[in-house]
Amino acid sequence: MIDGVVINTLKTHGDHRGFFREIFRFTEGFKGIPVGQLSHSLVNEGVIKGWHGHVYQSQWNYVVTGLISIALIDNRKDSPTYKKSTNFQVGDGDDHEPKAYFFPPGVFHGYKCLKGPMQIIYVTSGVFDLEDEIRVPLDELHVDLDW
């Protein structure tokens, strides 16, 4: 696992009326990291988004509907897991438990929407700032992905 990345399996409380699921508990999840922005995005099936990172921001993600294959790559030169990557799937489906995942600044993320449209909610520690954005072309980071 990449240093600083957290993947939480979420508890769902359901009955005949539906369900309740706690996604983020800011008093526990960000552990003193400020919350700057809450965003919602829709991505169509087959779309690949990557590579993207932040200089300063941390981020929590939660897939509401759909299914994605995620890759995270540690690009922090001072990290014990520098250049390591991790892949996992998040979203709805028979064999996927609901999860929320966190990554710190300097960890690049990318994903492919396997089942869509996919809707994702993400919470960042800061507000959108172009100076904080790090974008790398998809083929520039040589990661073994089955996309």
Peptide bond into 34 cis (omega under 30): no
Q: Break the chain into its structural domains and give their ranges.
A: 6-135
Predicted confidence (pLDDT) per residue in 94-123, tens digit: 667 888 999 999 999 999 999 989 999 999
Which tokens sit at 84?
């390591």
What confidence score (pLDDT) does residue 34 get?
75
Percent of the chain with pLDDT over 70: 92
What confidence score (pLDDT) does residue 46 get?
95
Predicted confidence (pLDDT) per residue in 8-34, tens digit: 888 889 899 998 988 887 766 566 677
Backbone angles phi, psi at 47, to 5 degrees: -75, 135
Burial readout 76-93 (b: 16 or more C-beta within 10 A, e: otherwise): beebebeeebbbebbbee
Which residue type sits at 54? Answer: H
What CATH class does 6-135 carry? mainly beta
- Neighbouring CB atoms inside 10 A of 21's CB total 13
